[in-house]
Amino acid sequence: MKPFVAVVALLVLAATAAAQGGGQSHPADCPKANIITIMMSAMQAFRDALPLDRSSLKACGAQLSKDGKELRVCLANGDFAIADMANSFVLPLKHKGQFILQVNFSNGAGIVPGKYDPAAGYGKPFWVTGEVKVPLGEKGTIVMLGAREGTAEIIAMSGSTVCGRFHLKTVAGHPQPSEVAGEFNVPMERSRW
């Protein structure tokens, strides 16, 4: 009789945790592919880099900062290593038409699954930003999208992968509207810094 009571107690605890949101997301909840459904900006640097083919993503990955408080998710149409895509100082882009879409998650208590808000602001919990790196000029250009609306969600994380969705955009009436949306299920590496 004792084993039966123990099994029932475990089932009740598991159901309670799931009902309170304490259950882990299952990999089945993750997107099956990496895709960019929207990528547009009226920013001059972005327009100068067009056309950008978002239909054939070749390199996708994420880099978690050493302290675990920042995550850079990168989707690119060129063949690049994760560390190269996430680097904001030396861009690996060499040919017109190449790009790296980067979604930046930030949380002072550490990156965890959940919803991140572009309106949260710098240094605030669960903040997200977006940018597109393009090969303009001698060293390339990073087009900051200025998104203040939408959301991004990390659905699940492990020590080596992360998955989620994003839809970020500028506020209505912005003089240079920008918008990005898509899904990711990518390998993740930890940065040395």
β partners of residue 160: none
Would you state the structure tokens that stand for residue 144, as one six-digit string?
């900051």
Tell me, what's the pLDDT at 138?
A: 87
* H/E run at residue 10: helix 2-19
Question: Each residue of 94-153: pLDDT tens digit?
Answer: 999 999 999 999 999 999 999 999 999 999 999 999 999 999 988 899 999 999 999 999
Tell me, what's the pLDDT at 18?
A: 35
User: Residue type for 4, please?
Assistant: F
User: Looking at the predicted structure, is the pLDDT value of residue 63 above 90?
Assistant: yes
Question: Each residue of 147-170: pLDDT tens digit?
Answer: 999 999 999 999 999 999 999 999
pTM as predicted = 0.85
Strands 161-169 and 178-190: antiparallel
Tell me, what's the pLDDT at 26?
A: 52
Longest Cα–Cα distance of the chain, Å, equals 75
**Cα distances (Å, whole numbers) of residue 77 to 11, 53, 159, 169:** 46, 7, 25, 21
- For 10, residues 6+ apart whose C-beta sits below 8 A from its C-beta are none
β partners of residue 132: 101, 143
* H/E run at residue 186: strand 178-190
Tell me, what's the pLDDT at 193?
A: 80
Q: Say if CB 190 and CB 64 are below 8 A apart.
A: yes
